[in-house]
Amino acid sequence: MQNSRSQVSAHYLVLRNSRILRLVKDDDIAWHAGAVTKPNWSLYDGTNPNYYTIGVEHEGMPAVGLTEVQYQSTLWLYGELLAKYPAIEPDINHIIGHYRIDSVNRPNCPGTKFPWVRLFADLKGENEVDNLVVYDDGDVGAALLLSFKLKCPMIHKAFADEVHAKNKHWIGILGTNGNGNYYYAGSDRIETAKLGL
């Protein structure tokens, strides 16, 4: 990450054991954004995103998710960056994944298990959202449809207990889970998606 021959770098790397490594100074340009392909980021200005963004990478694989200590370090790091740079707001337009810059080649970066909802809630000091879509591994598509319909965030079931919501909409999971929960579970993924519509 610090070898210029690799043409890959980032300002920060958060390890699974909670260590935070600063690889590039904030004021210097890191090569973390990668190629821009069909971006869906509202703040993209048509130039190289490396010139005006700070890159934070996480050790691990997208399908695994962050360790709890890694999450806490990430939360601390973002809190420090928000305090240092008041123009950065704790929202989906200012803190983004690579999928917002390259929706074609990196549509899942940083992965479906990245705790976006929890991160934004913690950074804003909030502990509850109105609606939340909870999905299982095979039902990301159905969850996306429902999340667009309800205009609310979605989260993997592994992290559902960490986020308080007035209404939780479970995709692809049978059964009941108390008041304030809705279930969309069809006979297959297509039927599940239809239930969410």
What's the pLDDT at 176?
A: 47
Out of 82, 103, 126, a domain closes at: 126
Q: SS3 breakdown of the chain: % helix, strand, coil, rounded to 5?
A: 30, 15, 50
Average pLDDT of the chain is 82
pLDDT per residue as tens digits for the range 4-41: 787 789 999 999 988 899 999 999 999 998 889 998 88
| Ramachandran class of 186: left when φ > 0, alpha when ψ lies in -120 to 50, beta otherwise | beta
Residues 86 and 99 in one domain: yes
Residues 43 and 138 in one domain: no
pLDDT per residue as tens digits for the range 87-106: 999 998 999 999 889 988 88
Which amino acid is residue 196, in one-letter code? G
Residues 42 and 121 in one domain: yes
Total domains, the chain: 2
When computed from its CA atoms, the radius of gyration of the chain, rounded to whole angstroms, is 18
Out of 106, 126, 146, a domain closes at: 126
Look up the CATH number of the domain holding residue 61: 3.40.80.10
Residues 106 and 155 in one domain: no
Look up the CATH number of the domain holding residue 194: 3.40.50.12090
Question: What domain range is 153 assigned to?
Answer: 130-197
Which pTM value belongs to this model?
0.66
